[in-house]
């Protein structure tokens, strides 16, 4: 009994999108380790061919004594998102946390390099995905009178000199403003909406980007983001909402 009381997310149900590898997998495992029932969501197959599946993440969680449900979902597809949320409610009866991690990164390409199809795919994954997922979970959170939504932000969405380029930086800036406005919109329902900027990470995806090698030794493993994500997952509108926070400053300027 004492062990369960020590777990910060005991009894909570969390959805983590893009959880087949990298940051999403690390966050799903961190939530589960703190007692949450975790819905591990990801596309069936990676368009980039990177390894990892939602099922593998869920199996890792279960092997460590946690509870997880793997659901295939393309967050750009409204029907799949609604089905994923419906399955979550059927399985667990509630949704306390939504961690919108799924997204794509296109860096180093100029506007003349980026064809409309690539532009549309990035906007769909990085902006339409969080919109669809938030819209799907909010009725349940409103009914509960509590919830926490965490969107992934980036310094590239706030500072044009960070190298995000016209596409990635534009989508992240949009996610930032979407989150600020949504936080105001759902504050009356006691739902927190925050933006977590994880900083440079050592993941399978970032390893495939050549220029990340120049600061590879300064990057952190995705597991380092876990404590800050767990903190945000516990918040509601009465405690901490409408904030853009940096993982690197957790425990210093916020989350103290």
- Structural domain contains residue 152: yes
- Structural domain contains residue 256: no
Would you state the pLDDT for residue 216?
A: 44
Range of the domain at 99: 2-248
CATH code assigned at 15: 3.40.50.720
Would you state the pLDDT for residue 5?
A: 60
Would you state the pLDDT for residue 48?
A: 65
Q: What is the pLDDT of residues 195-248, one digit of tens each?
A: 999 988 755 555 455 545 555 466 678 999 999 999 999 999 999 999 999 999
Q: Report the pLDDT averaged over residues 21-47.
A: 94
0.75 surpassed by pTM: yes
- Structural domain contains residue 254: no
Task: Tell me which of 92, 131, 168, 231 is the catalytic residue.
Answer: 168
- Structural domain contains residue 229: yes
Q: Report the pLDDT averaged over residues 93-103.
A: 97
- Structural domain contains residue 206: yes
- Structural domain contains residue 62: yes
127-131 long-range Cβ contacts below 8 angstroms, 24+ apart: 127/171, 127/174, 127/175, 127/178, 128/75, 128/76, 129/17, 129/75, 129/76, 129/81, 129/100, 129/102, 129/103, 130/75, 130/100, 130/175, 130/178, 131/178
Q: Does residue 102 carry a pLDDT above 90?
A: yes
Check if 168 is active-site.
Answer: yes
Would you state the pLDDT for residue 212?
A: 53
Q: What domain count does the chain have?
A: 1
Query: In this predicted model, which residue has the larger pLDDT, 100 or 200?
Result: 100
Would you state the pLDDT for residue 213?
A: 52
């Amino acid at each position: 009994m004492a062990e369960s009381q020590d777990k910060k997310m005991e009894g909570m149900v969390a959805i983590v999108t893009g959880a087949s590898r990298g940051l999403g997998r690390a966050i799903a495992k961190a939530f589960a380790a703190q007692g949450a029932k975790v819905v591990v969501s990801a596309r069936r197959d990676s368009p980039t061919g990177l390894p990892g599946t939602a099922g593998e993440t869920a199996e890792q969680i279960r092997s460590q004594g946690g509870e997880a449900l793997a659901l295939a979902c393309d967050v750009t597809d409204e029907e799949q998102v609604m089905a994923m949320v419906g399955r979550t409610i059927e399985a667990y009866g509630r949704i306390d946390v939504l961690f919108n991690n799924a997204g794509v990164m296109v860096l180093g390409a100029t506007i003349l390099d980026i064809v409309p199809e690539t532009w549309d795919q990035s906007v769909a994954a990085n902006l339409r995905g969080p919109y669809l997922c938030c819209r799907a979970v909010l009725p349940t959170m409103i009914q509960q009178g509590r919830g926490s939504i965490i969107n992934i932000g980036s310094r590239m969405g706030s500072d044009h000199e960070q190298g995000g380029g016209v596409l990635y930086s534009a989508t992240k800036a949009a996610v930032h403003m979407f989150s600020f406005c949504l936080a105001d919109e759902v504050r009356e329902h006691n739902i927190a909406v925050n933006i977590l900027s994880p900083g440079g990470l050592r993941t399978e995806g970032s390893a495939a980007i050549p220029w990340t090698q120049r600061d590879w030794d300064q990057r952190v493993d995705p597991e380092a983001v876990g404590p800050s994500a767990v903190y945000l997952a516990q918040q509601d509108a009465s405690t901490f909402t409408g904030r853009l926070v940096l993982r690197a400053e957790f425990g210093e300027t916020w989350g103290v």
